[in-house]
Structure 1
Amino acid sequence: MRVWFNRTFSSVYAAIGLIREADQAGRFHLIYSNANPHAAAARVAHQFLPEPTGLDTDAYIDWCLAFCREHAVDIFIPGKESTALAGAHARFEAQGTRVLSAGQPAALELIHDKARFYASLDLPQAPLADTRMFENLAQFDAAYAELRQRHPKLCVKPAQSVFGLGFAVLDEERSSAALLMAGAQYHIGLADMRRGLEELGECRTMLLMEYLDGHEYSVDCVGDQGRLVAAVARKKPQQAGRGQLIDMRADIVDACTRLAAQFGLNGCFNVQFREGGDQLRLLEINPRMSGGIGMACVAGPNLPYIALAGFADGFDQVHVAPVRNGIRVAELSEATELA
């Protein structure tokens, strides 16, 4: 069975390696494509092929259709343009390719827009942080005046972003220059923030939120059309160098079960939580594998293989190993030569 991963996040390297490790019968032929010939996943896939650059969304989908025809792809697991490709399943199925998407296009669009996503959510197991949206200085000032009465520290982040880009804790005392000199990462001076907003006039949709200072949890999951099949929760340390703890809290598993059902999640996805105010809070859903997927799989379930084999054969045919709760895991880097 020929399976294609197109250009995607770096976690695909671990995913392909994990699938090959579990696929003892050699049933799956794994193809990976990228415009970068030195992409790490090219080293572990059975076959690596180049991707074009500069295509708009419609042209890229057409290229993907042609790629699937040319290379007789049975299952396509998209990364690049995944939301748009989720709306094109019928076109691929008409030529014999099934597409494994994390959800329907409307659900994926909602998840990617945190302002709309937060407004739609009802999750008693892990309620959202106190949040307000702003797009200019007046809205920011009004939101700040309201939230600051209830919370000692606030932060900002874009409504649409990846990798935490744009996140910053607001510092009422120090300037951004002083924070830089002090080595305070992910902080911005409140006065500098206000001055920047005044200069911009209008900005992309941003979120002002209470700052959650507790432990963060990253939960790697597999779903089957809204049913949670497997989940591994990693508790991140607040000090570097201590690894991550596998912590299968019941409230986390319950919250992931509810989110999978509400948004019809499918295949591999990731959910982020953080503790604040003595309570678990939801941060976001990532409708893709996380960068720590390899660490999660050390705890037992081979999540990328479960997602692929379940999609190919039905999840009643797939064994899900028990989670080794309480173990500590870490990711080690190793130098290598690129061909």
Structure 2
Amino acid sequence: MRIWFNLTFSTIQSVFRNLRQSVPAGEITLICTHTHPHASAFLAADESYLEPADLVEQEYLEWCVDFCRQHNIQLFWPGKEAVLISKHHEFFQSIGVQVLSVADFDTLALLHNKADFYADLSASVAQTMDFIAVSDSEAFDSAVSQLSVKHQKLCVKPAVSVFGLGFRVLDTERDSITQILKGVEYQVPHQELRQGMTNTPEFATLLVMEHLGGPEWSVDCAGRHGELLCAVQRKKSQLPGGGQMIDNNADIDGMVTRLTARYRLNGLFNIQFKEGAHGVRLLEVNPRPSGGFGMACLAGANLAQIALRSIRGKGFQTPAIRYGLRVNEINTPVIIGNDLLSVTN
């Protein structure tokens, strides 16, 4: 089977490794495309190709269809423009290509915006932190006033964001120079943030939320159109260098199962949780493999194999998860190319 992964995160290498371990040699061919000629994901692929960097939306969709046709792709596992591609499976099906989308178009668009997602989510499926969505300074002031009565610390995050970009805890005691000198990370002085809003009367939706100060879980999952096939919980240590522990939290297990069913999640995806004063709360559903995917699979579950066998209509044996295992990742130096064009004496 020829499987194509288009432009995506470098962590896809862990998925490649686990896919190779899941089938006899030569049974699958992993094809990777990227806009950068030295993408690290190329190192783990069987075939690598450059894709145009300037194409988006419809033009990129048409390029993807042509690429599938030219390279005899049988399974397309999209990263870039995954939301758009999920809406146009028929383009690929017409040339005999199966597309793996984590959810349908409406669901992927919903997951992309946390304000919309949280508003849509029923508490009977999963509990979220207390939050208010704002898009101007007046609404921000009101949200801070309301939430401060109930919560000791507040934080903010853009409604549309990945990798935690834009997340900040509101610091009501220190200014930015003090934070810099003391090496304080992921915090922003409340008054300085508010002052900055005077230059931006309206802004993209920002979530003002209760700050969850407890441990965080990242759950790597394999599913089949709403059926949770396997999930591995990684509980992150709050101490530097403490690694992560393979956990079995019953509340998290229940929420993951219900979220998978509610949004008919499929393939490989990741769900994150954090504990606050009132229990474990959902942070987000990521419709892609996580950066820690490889660590999860060390627990005894080859999630990529499970997802692939499901796609191919094959059964699998439910793996025994090694709970209590402590895992971590180490960096390995590699050569990704040689840009030396000539040598002069």
Normalising TM by the smaller chain, what interval? over 0.9
TM-score (norm 1): 0.97
Structure 2 unaligned blocks of 5 or more: 338-345
Matched residue SS, 2:203 = coil
Pair 1:299-2:288 in alignment = no
Pair 1:184-2:184 in alignment = yes
Letter in 2 for 1:14: S
Q: How many residues align?
A: 337
Q: Is the 8 A contact 2:126 2:258 kept in 1?
A: no
Q: What do the CA deviations read for 1:3-42 (whole angstroms, capped 9, x no partner)? A: 0000101221111111112223431111011111211121
In structure 2, the partner of 1:142 is: 142
In structure 2, the partner of 1:253 is: 253
Distance 2:308 2:40 in 1: 21
Structure 1 unaligned blocks of 5 or more: none
Letter in 2 for 1:320: T
In structure 1, the partner of 2:241 is: 241
Q: Is the 8 A contact 1:133 1:205 kept in 2?
A: yes
Give the superposition deviation at 1:173.
1.0
Q: What do the CA deviations read for 1:159-184 (whole angstroms, capped 9, x no partner)? A: 00000000000001111222122111
Distance 1:88 1:126 in 2: 30
Distance 2:309 2:43 in 1: 22
Q: What do the CA deviations read for 1:251-303 (whole angstroms, capped 9, x no partner)? A: 11110010011111000000000000141100010010000000000001111
Give the superposition deviation at 1:124.
4.0
**C-alpha RMSD of matched pairs (Å):** 1.1
Pair 1:200-2:200 in alignment = yes
Return structure 1 stretches of 4+ with deviation > 6 angstroms.
none
Pair 1:214-2:214 in alignment = yes
Q: What do the CA deviations read for 1:132-154 (whole angstroms, capped 9, x no partner)? A: 01111100000110000000100
Matched residue SS, 1:205 = strand
Distance 1:58 1:108 in 2: 17
Distance 1:125 1:267 in 2: 20
TM-score (norm 2): 0.96
Distance 2:151 2:125 in 1: 21
List aligned pairs for 1:1-339, cutoff 5 A. Answer: 1-124=1-124, 126-314=126-314, 317-339=315-337
Distance 1:286 1:326 in 2: 24
Give the superposition deviation at 1:80.
0.4
Q: Is the 8 A contact 2:126 2:259 kept in 1?
A: no
Matched residue SS, 1:127 = coil
Distance 1:100 1:56 in 2: 20
Matched residue SS, 1:204 = strand
Distance 1:51 1:78 in 2: 13
